[in-house]
């Protein structure tokens, strides 16, 4: 039996749509009255777990799910021991540095050494500023990181940006892009190699469908 870890939030609807196309219907997760966190698909051939985006690779790495759908940003941040299989092409956003629009900084390199940078993506932020050879203090925040520069607690933030509307509404300016992020299909490495329950066939169907969507676009 195949178990898939699905992410709560913005990636869920498109993830369910994709899986439905390849024969696994977990649409019950989209019913607002449903409080179940584990369900069977409608043909009773596979199960899905509904978990936080951050936890998807954990369930896959530890073998509670053979497959998972998660944002590339999470994979870059956590670097889990999972097999990276397919770029699914949806959930497009970017990891960026942002500062107050009224500040004199227009690039990360403009920041003074030992500035404070707020982020929930601590490892991504640290890696980026190390690549610039710019020493900064990374301040871990797991709520509204935009408040860092607004309150003066930090000179900058590193966060995901989609439309940029939240930044503009809070008078923040995007200065640098670290990388682009989309939803990715991941697998438990041993499960992928053993190919039980037709796992690789399912992966191939997802790959073909994803390529078909890209070519149609």
Where is 190: in which H helix or E strand? helix 189-194
Give yes or no: residues 21 and 84 share one domain: yes
Bridge partner list, 186: 68, 84
Domain residue limits at 76: 2-91+182-216
Q: Same domain, yes or no, for 17 and 34?
A: yes
List, for residues 71-113, the tens digit of each pLDDT value. 999 999 999 999 999 999 999 999 999 999 999 999 999 999 9
Same domain? 86 vs 193: yes
Q: For 191-217, what is each residue's pLDDT tens digit?
A: 999 988 899 999 999 999 988 544 333
pLDDT at 216: 38
154 and 103, same domain (yes or no) = yes
Q: Residue 119: pLDDT band by 50, 70, 90 thresholds? A: very high
Cα–Cα distance list, 69 to 8, 49, 58 (Å): 10, 11, 12
* Same structural domain, 84 and 22: yes
Return the SS3 of 136. strand
Whole-structure pTM value: 0.91
Whole-number Å distance between alpha carbons of 38 and 41 = 10
117 lies in the same domain as 106: yes
């Amino acid at each position: 039996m195949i178990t898939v870890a699905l992410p709560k939030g913005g990636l869920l609807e498109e993830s369910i749509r994709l899986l439905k196309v390849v024969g696994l219907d977990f649409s019950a997760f989209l019913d607002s009255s449903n409080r179940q966190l584990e369900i069977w698909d409608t043909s009773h051939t596979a199960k899905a777990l509904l978990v936080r985006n951050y936890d998807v690779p954990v369930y896959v790495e530890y073998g509670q799910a053979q497959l998972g759908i998660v944002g590339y940003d999470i994979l870059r941040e956590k670097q889990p021991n999972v097999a990276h299989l397919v770029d699914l092409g949806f959930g497009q956003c970017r990891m960026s540095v942002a500062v107050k629009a009224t500040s004199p900084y227009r690039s990360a390199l403009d920041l003074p050494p030992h500035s404070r940078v707020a982020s929930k993506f601590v490892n991504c932020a640290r890696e980026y500023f190390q690549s610039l050879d710019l020493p900064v203090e990374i301040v871990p925040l797991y709520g509204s990181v935009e408040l860092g520069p607004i309150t003066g607690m930090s000179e900058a933030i590193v966060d995901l940006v989609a439309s940029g509307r939240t930044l503009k509404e809070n008078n923040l300016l995007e200065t640098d892009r670290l990388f682009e992020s989309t939803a990715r299909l991941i697998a438990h490495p041993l499960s992928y190699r053993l190919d039980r329950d037709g796992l690789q066939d399912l992966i191939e169907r997802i790959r073909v469908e994803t390529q078909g969507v890209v070519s149609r676009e």
